[in-house]
Amino acid sequence: MAYILSVGRAIPENELSQETTNEFAKEMFQDSFKDIERLLTVFKNGEIETRQFAEKLDWYKEAHTFEEKNNTYIEKAVQLSVKAINNCLQNKNLLDKGIDCKEIDAIIFISSTGIATPSIDAKIMNHITFKESTKRIPIWGLGCAGGAAGLSRAFEYCLAYPDSLVLVVAVELCSLTFQHDDLTKSNLIGTSLFADGVACVCLAGNAFNRKSISKLKALPHIQDTRSSFMKDSEDVMGWEIKNNGFYVVFSRDIPTIVRNWLRPQVIKFLKEHDLTLDAISHFAAHPGGKKVLEAYQDGLGLTDRHLQISKDVLIHHGNMSSVTVMYVIQDYLEKELGRESEYGLIGALGPGFSSELLLVQWESV
């Protein structure tokens, strides 16, 4: 098993209001959609107020090659990852003392919005003095499910090595995938929803002396994880890769799938631990969008309280793909919302179509 010790984020410096991005989309697409004014209501209806981006707005008004966009991704990913890792290991809100980079045994790197070989985690290690034997585990292509999946894989690493410390670093620079020539409604919806962000989570195995460094009264202790895959659903969510880069695939059926498909997966998972939905006090959900949050409520019988943190993250940061659930977890920890013995679920959905769930129980430090 594993404990979530600390979280740090790196927020891109270019923040835009939803009103500004609305005007940007109108400028970009008004000659392509006859009903542009009706379509632009998604910007207001999504209830996002602000989002952060890797570049200034003018950068997105110009066309860029796949090479240019990917080179920008690599540069920004390394810069922001280093910042997020340092913020995680030195988070004074969560830790009594900082964690030395040389104590880290493994780094799991998550992303779906750019490519690099050597992978970004290798480039990070040339900027931060980790020990040479630190294991690198890059995972690509899990989309919005990636953050939760990375935590699941870290949990499994800690099961094998219970005295270890593991970092999960997620980088998503969704804005760099913007395509001027993509005249689909999926692209317009993506433009209203997706944003950029980077986060790092530090997990400790059961044998690690967490009491010596944690500032909190109770920590979320991961009990188990569950991956679920929906067969023949590749067209629900993902990328179509063309000469100019990534083109978004984003089905309008996602909220319906969440509402109908996810509930049996959750119930089955909880039943394995002799639990029901009524036992879950906290639901740290990846907020895919307003309609997805509503589908969580309808499908799982959750209240506004269960999803308030997820909603707040969506309002202030938008959907940062895999990173978003880590922002939610950080708010849970820093606000000390979990009490000893309470159960919670961490959950996210992504391409495949798939879900990743983690069952946690807060335990006294």
The residues that are catalytic are: 144
Whole-number Å distance between alpha carbons of 35 and 282? 41
Q: What is the residue whose two structure tokens read 């409520």? A: 297
- Cα distances (Å, whole numbers) of residue 184 to 50, 99, 248, 320: 24, 46, 9, 21
Residue 308 amino acid letter: Q
Give the DSSP H/E element, type plus range, for residue 85.
Answer: helix 66-89
Show the tokens assigned to 310: 């997820």
CA distance 47 to 251: 20
Beta partners for residue 198, in sequence order: 10, 171
Rounded Cα distance, 328 and 332, in Å: 6
Residue 219's closest CA among 94, 354, 118, 81? 94
How is residue 264 annotated by DSSP? Answer: H
E strands, the chain, where?
A: 2-10, 14-17, 50-53, 106-111, 135-140, 165-173, 196-205, 218-229, 237-242, 245-250, 280-285, 343-350, 354-364
Distance between CA 348 and CA 228 in Å, rounded?
11
